[in-house]
Amino acid sequence: MRELTYGQGIKEGMRIKMLENPDVFIFGEDVGLFGGCFGVTAGLFEEFGEKRVRDTPISEGAIIGAAVGAAAVGLRPIPELMFVDFATVGMDQLVNQAAKMRYMFGGKLKLPMVVRLPSGGGVAAAAQHSQSLEAWFTHVPGLKVVYPSNAQDAIGLMLTAIDDDNPVIYLENKTLYAVAGQVEDEVKPIPLGKANIKREGSDVTIITYGKQVYDSLKAAEILEKDGIDVEVIDLRSLYPLDTEAIFESVKKTHKVVIVSEEAKRGSYAGELAAIIADECFYECDAPIKRVCALNTPIPFSGNLEAYVLPNADDVVQAIKSLF
């Protein structure tokens, strides 16, 4: 085992594949010389050169569109947008082009590309640099969506995502970049659609991903003192979704709390609640709860932002309300 940060994990995943496959290359805003807005690609420009680690103009439509075109002619591009919020500018290329070309063309084209999108709040970046937009991407047939919570998963999911023949949205939480974790010496690819049970428990299931895995584990520790035994599932992959792991856990605990950083209205958390209600309604002996951000844009001022975003205490409260 060794210690790596989440950001280093993302980089290691890309680096392994770049060494292995000359068709893999990176481009985006400030990913080259500058090393990436959050330093994730630092050193890759020096190692692989300008051809494979390219700085682009600030031009999100061109970044995603160029990835679509390059993938269509046989490459495996990894475009990065500096913040998930900027995906709005390249949304046609993601939603109408990347996600639909294979289907519209009768399955005769494949578009292997991994779109890296730093997400989430907590860094005083305000409303246009702090969103959690996973619901938009999971909503669109044709896209796969992953969201690692730690360095080991960041590597394993990246290895799989790059080898995938479909467009994969790779969401990263920007407050986790510097968080260190234990990583196996040789990380294996993690299949998409395979959740990780971070903590086993028998009284209530938390379904979560990304940064909220940490909040949820903290809540579980607090609740342990109150005699509530919490299971925490880290989804890792939002689509495909490990429904089996979710249903199994619900059948065991009969109570569910879903934790995400999205604005609650229209959230992916809501979709998870609906799936559980559809398939496991009679297994639940309490309402399915969602702990999310408030339905506001993310504010700047530290106290306001902390108030809007969910935290471990909110999770504790939600769980207590079920008992």
129 noted as active-site residue: yes
Instruction: List residues binding other proteins (CB under 8 A).
Output: 25, 51, 56-57, 59, 61-62, 64-75, 77, 92-93, 96-97, 101-110, 141-142, 144, 164-166, 240
**Minimum distance between the CB of residue 74 and other proteins, rounded to whole angstroms?**
7
Please state whether the peptide bond connecting residue 57 to the residue before it is cis, i.e. omega within 30 degrees of 0: no
Which of the following is catalytic: 129, 211, 254, 255?
Answer: 129
**Minimum distance between the CB of residue 126 and other proteins, rounded to whole angstroms?**
24
Cβ-based nearer residue to other proteins, 60 or 172? 60
Distance CA 123, CA 129 (A): 9
Cβ-based nearer residue to other proteins, 103 or 300? 103
Are 161 and 192 spatial neighbours (Cβ–Cβ below 8 Å)?
yes
Are 233 and 261 spatial neighbours (Cβ–Cβ below 8 Å)?
no
- The DSSP call for residue 93 is I
Largest CA-CA distance found in the chain, in angstroms, rounded: 58
Distance CA 254, CA 11 (A): 39
**Minimum distance between the CB of residue 12 and other proteins, rounded to whole angstroms?**
23
**Minimum distance between the CB of residue 144 and other proteins, rounded to whole angstroms?**
7
- The DSSP call for residue 153 is H
Distance CA 100, CA 123 (A): 34
Are 210 and 233 spatial neighbours (Cβ–Cβ below 8 Å)?
no
Cβ-based nearer residue to other proteins, 76 or 198? 76
Return the active site residues: 129
